[in-house]
Amino acid sequence: MALGGATAERLYQATQQDWTEEHTMQLRSLSLSSLPPLPPDPSNRVADDPRAAELGKAIFFDTRFSANGKVACATCHLPARAGPVDDPAAAAAWAAPTADQRTGVTAVYANMGKAIVAFERTIAPTPTRYDAWVASPEFPQAGILSQAEIDACACSSARTNASIATMARF
């Protein structure tokens, strides 16, 4: 729920003791637990099959698929970072084979990729201290988060919503 510019400004200026239920609901809506489930993947019939996810996980971390037995998907693509490692050596390793060899590698791994995607769909963001705070009985008081962090949350939320309200006018 986006707040209008005036409401966002009031949230920015208010202390947590002054927050309305609307304010606390907005802050709770920013928690990872409020994210909807992943939508179905129409291009992958095994995307939500736990057996495919287990196979994908095994493949993702298995070094036996590499020529030297030392490289796995996870060598360059860290699940915790949800993306590739910015590593010049990894880029050079992929650039070393010819275009035809890379096409062959891509073809071999295409179906294995379906299982890997099923595994990747099981990787969820790690809950943060913010998530614990908005779910705690102390919310919206300080405790898990310091007063300075709470003030930063309100400030950031208000500025984001004020920007959204401003952009909506154009």
As a whole-number percent, the residues of the chain with pLDDT over 70 amount to 71
Q: Which residue has the higher pLDDT, 80 or 141?
A: 141
Q: How confident is the model at residue 108 (pLDDT cuts 50, 70, 90)?
A: confident
pLDDT score recorded for residue 64: 92
Helix (H, G, I), strand (E, B) or coil at 15: coil
Q: Which two tokens stand for residue 48?
A: 């939500």
Sign of the four-CA dihedral 8, 13, 15, 18: negative
CB atoms within 10 A of CB 99: 7
Q: Please, are residues 103 and 44 in contact by the beta-carbon 8 Å criterion?
A: no
Q: Which residue has the higher pLDDT, 160 or 42?
A: 42
Q: What is the mean pLDDT of residues 119-145?
A: 84
Q: How confident is the model at residue 5 (pLDDT cuts 50, 70, 90)?
A: very low
Q: Which two tokens stand for residue 92?
A: 């050079």
Nearest CA-CA partner of 128 in 155, 153, 161, 159:
153
Say how many Å lie between the first and final Cα of the chain, rounded.
19
Q: How confident is the model at residue 98 (pLDDT cuts 50, 70, 90)?
A: confident
Q: What is the mean pLDDT of residues 42-69?
A: 89
Average confidence score pLDDT of the chain: 75
pLDDT score recorded for residue 170: 36
Peptide bond into 140 cis (omega under 30): yes
Q: What is the mean pLDDT of residues 53-58?
A: 90
pLDDT score recorded for residue 62: 92
Q: What angle do CA 103, 69, 99 make, to 5 degrees?
A: 15
If you write DSSP's letter for every residue of 79-96 in order, what string do you get?
Answer: TTTTEE---HHHHHHHHS
Name the most confidently modeled range: 4-8, 62-66, 124-128. 62-66
